[in-house]
Amino acid sequence: MNRIEFIKFLEEFKKDFDENKSSWENTNLSDFLESMIAYTEDIQVYYENMKMDVDADKPTWENFKNILMGASIYE
């Protein structure tokens, strides 16, 4: 994923929030950021469980996308 693809993802991510806010676990910034912290701590386990060969310690647009998506539903 490159920067332009990440921007397109963010546009769709925001649109999903605007249109489906009730399906998101974290609907205010404080809760979202708290969840984002927790999900970032746990994302390597997610990658391993999904048998994905991804190193969460290497920052990529794809990793950041996954963290944002996870934070929208993570408790």
Average model confidence (pLDDT) for the chain?
94
Q: Are 39 and 71 in contact (CB under 8 A)?
A: yes
Percent of the residues in the chain that have a pLDDT greater than 90, as a whole number: 95
pLDDT band at 75 (very low <50, low <70, confident <90, very high): confident
pLDDT tens column, 39-54:
999 999 999 999 999 9
- Look up the domain containing 22 and give its range: 3-73
The pLDDT of residue 8 is above 90: yes
Domain count of the fold of the chain: 1
Q: Where does residue 2 fall: left (phi above 0), alpha (psi -120 to 50 degrees), or beta otherwise?
A: beta
